Chain A
Amino acid sequence: MNLVILILIGIFSYTSFIYGRSRIKKITTSQSIKINALPNYYGYYLALWCALPSLIILLVWSIFEASIIKGLISQTLSQNELNVYTSDQINLIYQKIVSLYNGNFSGKITNEIKQGAEDYKSFLSIAQSSKVVLLLSTAVLTITYGIKRISKNNKARHDVEKILTGLLFACSLVAILTTLGIIFSLLFESIKFFSAINIFDFLFGTSWSPQRAFVRDASAITAEEYADLKNAFGSVPLFAGTAFIALIAMTVAVPIGLFSGIYMAEYASIKVRKFSKPIIEILAGIPTVVYGFFAALTVGPFFREFGEKLGLEVSSESALAAGLVMGVMIIPYVSSLSDDVINSVPQSLRDGSYAVGATKSETIKRVVIPAALPGIVGSILLAVSRAIGETMIVVMAAGLAANLTINPLESTTTITTQIVMLLVGDQEFDSPKTQSAFALGLTLFFATLILNYIALRFVKKYREKYD
């Protein structure tokens, strides 16, 4: 339906473009006045008048249609005098109604659901027809207004350009809207979570087991229940696990990445560079789910068998396997960033060092790296932020149980793993269990934000030094 409307709007706009153009030509020839812009601009002007308001109305309508209909139906449901429903039950009944309407409902059809489906159908058709009427009348109104404006010989080009710049500006606002969306969606649920669980218990508690967290009524938690909850939502083991796996990853990625960056920038011939740089960058292009599969199926079992031979007990979901594979994934981020940074160290510094008789490696160690250090630190920080935000490798290869351990052969869990685990499957909304995922998300968001900010500051400072 929306597609048909979109096509109609397209046809309307095109016709108004043609009409506007021919109209202004007619006016100019019949009244012999000099117009202010090319005839095409009058066409654009009319087309914009036709398309823009209708498109905006259509967009707003489509965004709110579903929730308004849901609201209407929930209202009739909640006014039912026989049964008193909680909001969860109303949601469930609403889903049943929608699936009955779509014809894929299996289960007992009660009178209420049947009635609801009929209501739903009538609401949908009312919405449909009123939408069409509204859009048509808007289009007619705006086109008439546009035509009137044209005949008065306005400055069409100026107006069209103004609207266009406005549109461009609106598009760049999407970035702000996304950030706001992230912050609101995270904050909204997190605030609910922190109203149930004390934020200090969350940040400094040392026991994490949300499966145990069961509350009858989230709005009235008894002191007894809270003592349990406190032990279910202590996120220190998650922070520790995340940091630990990231540390293992960085011990793999930093030396290999840094040394290959140095080699590429200082030693490699153009031929070697042209061949090996793209290959290493393949590592950055491989989807993380592939690394996860590799870690879970090849590296994890390999370490376990290897450990068995040495008489060690190695978990098949060891932090070592996940961290190692994550390190491999991060190598190209470290290597290409440090390659860039080293490349932009001015040649004169190197020449000065060679002139006093230093070898190449001495120059690199004593002159180039100290000069490039802020940039290198920045790139490593960016890599760390990638490591703690990385999800699929740890979901597939690291464990689920929150152990507070520093033994790399045991399994640990991370923030991202827990977010996925808490939100996959049947979710009960308004339970601290689901909300805690958003609280973890918020923590993760701020942690990466701070890391990125510091890293960018480092890089920027470095650039200013030599630019």
Chain B
Amino acid sequence: MTKEERIKKRYNAEKRFKLYGITSVVLAILFVVFLIYVIFSKGSSAFQKTIINVEINFTLDSLYLDPNPSKDDLENVEYYDLAIESLLKVYQVNGLKEEKALINLFSPDYEYEVRDFLIKNPEFINKKTILKLTASDDMDQLHKGNYPRHLPEDRRRINDFQLMMYDKLVEQNKIDKIFNNYLFQKGDSRNPELAGIGGALVGSFFTIIITLLLSFPIAIFASIYLEEFAPKNRIIDFIEININNLAAVPSIVFGLLGLGILLGTFDLPRSTPLVAGITLALMTLPRIIIPCRASLKAVPPSIREGALAVGASKVQSVMHHVVPLAIPGTLSGTIIGLAQALGETAPLILIGMVAFVVDIPSIPTDPSASLPVQVYLWSEQAERGFVEKTSATIMILLSFLITLNFIAVYLRQKFERKW
């Protein structure tokens, strides 16, 4: 091998090596893009729902109401007959089988949708109006183009007659898509078109507030002690080893802790944001303490010495001078820790947050779901409608996480100081 050949070979190796690096970086970035693309393309349709326009005549007779009904009367009467009658007028059908097929185009909650409309707008008594009633999950997916309508009839839940009705209704402009308010207002449901993340949002909110209230003060206090006051001895060494270890313990182990101690020994209520908050606070604590200590450490000793020199006590020098300077740094560490806690699922499953909860919790000791657990629960469901709901929930969860991270970055950049 000549000298030139050898040099050429070495340069080629150089190029190859650099290419490996570029390929890896590009691959990693592609993974991010692909993941986000898949989630968004599946989930964005969940923000709309399919409705069918139904003309409803709120006569007093059809509702069995006295003239001038009170609000209580409106809440207590039966809407079922009126709703069914109006639904059946949407399309000309004959026979019980066809009637059933028509009614099945709608979500089973039509009765309550009619009722809620009238209670909200009592001026429509004795008047005709067009209501937008939620379509069933299958209709919804059909209208959004996700339904395999080319399959033979016996392999789909929508039969040919229903398909024909659907096509006619589309021609008559009776089917439409509107913003899906149920997604944010409702709790969980077995019917995808009626399922929402209202309960999970509130549950996650309670959980994260409890986590914040417990972990932030304890983490700050602990880091102040360890960084400023702790003597060098075995106990302190042991605490530090513990903190470093806890930060790397798998989250599911904290779930076992919550299950064994909080639910088992202290008998706290299952499936509640209270227990979830405490469990996540214990998990987040070491993850916050580490950045908090770093930002306390970043305050130069001259600040402390200056305070001590003019006669402040040790506590005064720390509390009046060091801590206020370190707080912005601790905030961004805390927010990142909280963002991790917000996306944590495994410990919450173990403390029973997988229960099927329809109601939206009003206090932290109500059983509740949370956003990541809702993702897990819905991903186990077979219905097509839940796939887009799951992806939409992920989109909402990710947008919260991104916001939190941006706030953290902003705080860091705004308050970062070079000494």
Contacts and interface: CB of A to CB of B under 8 A. Distances in A.
A interacts with B: yes
Contact of A444 (B250, B257, B394): B250
A291 B397 CA distance: 13
A268 B28 CA distance: 15
A359 interface: yes
A280 B32 contact: yes
Closest 6 CB pairs of A and B: A389-B250, A287-B343, A263-B21, A185-B260, A361-B17, A168-B225
A456 B349 CA distance: 30
A268 B313 CA distance: 49
A149 interface: no
B14 A186 contact: no
Contact of A297 (B11, B218, B379): B379
Nearest to B238: A176
5 contacts: A172-B221, A282-B32, A359-B10, A388-B250, A391-B346
A126 to B, nearest CB: 18
A176 B18 contact: no
B375 A293 contact: yes
B248 interface: yes
Given A290-B397, A361-B13, A456-B244, A174 B267 contact: no
Contact of A182 (B10, B13, B16, B256): B256
Q: Of residues A165, A390, A449, which shows the largest number of chain B Cβ atoms within 10 Å of its Cβ?
A: A165
Contacts of B319: 164
B246 to A, nearest CB: 6
A174 B218 contact: yes
Interface in B223-268: 224-226, 229-230, 238-239, 242-246, 248-254, 256-257, 259-261, 264-268
Contacts of B257: 178, 181-182, 185
A259 B397 contact: no
B222 to A, nearest CB: 4
A449 B245 contact: yes
B405 interface: yes
B24 A263 contact: yes
A287 B261 contact: no
A449 to B, nearest CB: 6
Contacts of A173: 239
Contacts of A18: none
Contacts of B38: 294, 298
Interface of A: 63, 66-67, 70, 157, 161, 164-165, 167-169, 171-176, 178-179, 181-182, 184-186, 188-189, 255-260, 262-264, 266-268, 276, 279-280, 282-283, 285-294, 296-298, 328, 331-332, 335, 359-362, 364-365, 382, 385-386, 388-392, 395-396, 416, 419-420, 423-424, 437-438, 441, 444-445, 448-449, 452-453, 456
A359 B282 contact: no
Interface in B85-141: none
Given A189-B260, A285-B401, A290-B398, A182 B254 contact: yes
Contacts of A386: 248, 250
A328 B239 CA distance: 33
B176 interface: no
Given A359-B10, A391-B346, A424-B349, A178 B282 contact: yes
A335 B31 CA distance: 14
Contacts of A298: 38
A175 B285 contact: yes
A4 to B, nearest CB: 14
Given A257-B28, A328-B31, A391-B345, 13 more contacts: A66-B268, A172-B239, A174-B218, A176-B238, A178-B246, A256-B27, A276-B29, A283-B32, A290-B343, A296-B379, A359-B10, A364-B17, A420-B346
A452 B241 CA distance: 11
Nearest to B33: A279
B60 interface: no
Contacts of B401: 285-287
A66 B256 contact: no
Contacts of A456: 244
B344 interface: yes
Interface in B24-44: 24-25, 27-29, 31-32, 35, 38-39
B147 interface: no
Interface residues of B, number: 86
A450 to B, nearest CB: 11
Interface of B: 10-11, 13-14, 16-18, 20-25, 27-29, 31-32, 35, 38-39, 217-219, 221-222, 224-226, 229-230, 238-239, 242-246, 248-254, 256-257, 259-261, 264-268, 282, 285-286, 289, 313-315, 319, 339-340, 342-346, 349-350, 354, 372-373, 375-376, 379, 387, 390-391, 394, 397-398, 401, 405
A391 B251 contact: yes
Nearest to A382: B248
A456 to B, nearest CB: 7
Contact of A287 (B245, B259, B260, B344): B344
Contacts of A285: 339-340, 343, 401, 405
Nearest to B405: A285
Contact of B242 (A175, A297, A392, A419): A175
B229 A279 contact: no
Contacts of B405: 285
A386 B346 CA distance: 14
Contacts of A288: 343, 345-346
A67 B265 contact: yes
Nearest to B31: A328
A368 B220 CA distance: 38
Given A259-B24, A294-B35, A294-B38, A267 B343 contact: no
A189 B257 CA distance: 11
A453 B245 CA distance: 8
Nearest to A441: B256
